[in-house]
Structure 1
Amino acid sequence: MAIFLLGAVGVALGALATNWVLRPKRPQVGDQRETYECGLTTKGPTWVQFRISYFLYALIFLLFDVETVFLYPWAVKFQVLGLFAFIEMVIFIAILILGLWYAWKEGGLEWL
């Protein structure tokens, strides 16, 4: 275990040392120090407060996106797994549909 710890510390310190050696010693002054926002200069205040509904919409999307990743391995081994795995997947999809129904009912999928 100590070898793995030393190896991890060595890799981290090696990466930092390599970065320190290869970095430019005198950074150029100019456009490189400006804030980059899609290539356009911002107009007006840049600290705009977004409504929480955008973040909730993104969280719901991530939740269902990550959960559907579990469907792929099941579909690949569907014929080998048998009836028990099929029933478990039906329960899993039912829970997903229940969560989608709840999010819809609470207005979590409304954009405005």
Structure 2
Amino acid sequence: MEVYVPVIVMFAIGLGFALVSIVASRIAGPFRRNRAKSDPYESGIEPAPSSSGPTKFPVKFYLTAMLFIVFDIEIIFLVPWAVHHDVLGIFGFWAVVMFIGALFVAYAYEWRRGGLDWD
């Protein structure tokens, strides 16, 4: 059980920080409702009212989110491998080569769909 004490302490610190931040923002921040604050807002596009149903967002936003997820997953798996690559040996090396190959497929898809064009 004493192995889990640091994890429990870090969880408690994170939860405490979140609660203190929420309470402090409610106490310190101004709270005035108006029409602009109540309107929905998504990814820099102000939605226009439409009688034909919900408006569609450009695929560009989803491609940007996918690119973030690809690189986030890459960091999550490659940093522990870089720390312990000598322990994992040749199996760890080939596992990472296959992982980077899969990431390259996602990266090539992003590139082909125009997710890297920032215009």
- Say what the alpha-carbon RMSD is for the aligned residues: 2.7
Q: Which has the higher contact order (CA 8 A, sep 6+)?
A: 1
What SS does structure 2 have at the residue aligned with 1:86? helix
Identity value in percent: 39
Q: Distance in 2 between matches of 1:65 and 1:32?
A: 37
TM superposition score normalised by structure 2: 0.50
Per-residue CA deviations over 1:57-109 (Å, capped at 9, x if unaligned) read: 12222222223211111111111111111111111112211221222123232
Displacement after TM superposition at 1:111 (Å): 3.0
31, 43, 64: which is aligned to 2:71?
A: 64
Unaligned runs of 5+ in 2: 1-29, 39-45, 49-54
Mark the structure with the bigger radius of gyration: 1
Over 3 Å off, 4+ runs: none
TM superposition score normalised by structure 1: 0.52
Displacement after TM superposition at 1:31 (Å): 5.5
Q: Distance in 1 between matches of 2:101 and 2:77?
A: 14
Unaligned runs of 5+ in 1: 1-29, 37-45
The number of residue pairs the alignment matches comes to 75
84, 87, 93: which is aligned to 2:91?
A: 84
Distance 1:31 1:108, change over 3 A: closer
